[in-house]
Amino acid sequence: MLADVTAAIGIHTVEPIPPATTTTSSPDGPLAQRNGLSEPDEGPDGAATEEETPTGFLAVTLAELRKVVWPSRQQLFSESVAVILMVSLSAAAIAAIDRFYHWGSAQIFR
């Protein structure tokens, strides 16, 4: 019954995301390394190597950008027009209210 009502009024349900699994591995284990929680590898002189960090960061960033659903040109244009229109209407309403209060205060405090 509830499913019929929510479908009739256009409410869509979303499957819940399962919680992340945790393990009792060491702080430097494979799970920590995959999540970026382990200490960086050190080079022969004791300094952290920077070879893997930019590549990993860039690869992860590009992978995330591939997941983005970019708007079409028509959608971008129509939503931009809607935003500009609403901002203009809001500015006009605020200006009208401001002028009204200015006029009202001028009538009272002559």
Residue 94 domain-assigned (yes or no): yes
**The whole model's pTM is what?**
0.42
Q: Convert the pLDDT of each residue in 79-102 to its tens digit.
A: 999 999 999 999 999 999 999 999
Residue 17 domain-assigned (yes or no): no
Closest CA to 53 of 67, 42, 64, 66: 42
Total count of domains within the chain = 1
Calculate ∠ Cα 8-72-67, nearest 5°.
Answer: 80
Residue 85 domain-assigned (yes or no): yes
Does residue 31 have a pLDDT over 90?
A: no
**pLDDT value of position 25:** 52
Residue 20 domain-assigned (yes or no): no
Residue 99 domain-assigned (yes or no): yes
Task: Phi first, then psi: give them for residue 18, nearest 5 degrees.
Answer: -65, 150
Range of the domain at 85: 70-110
Q: Convert the pLDDT of each residue in 40-74 to its tens digit.
A: 555 556 555 555 445 788 888 998 898 999 999 99
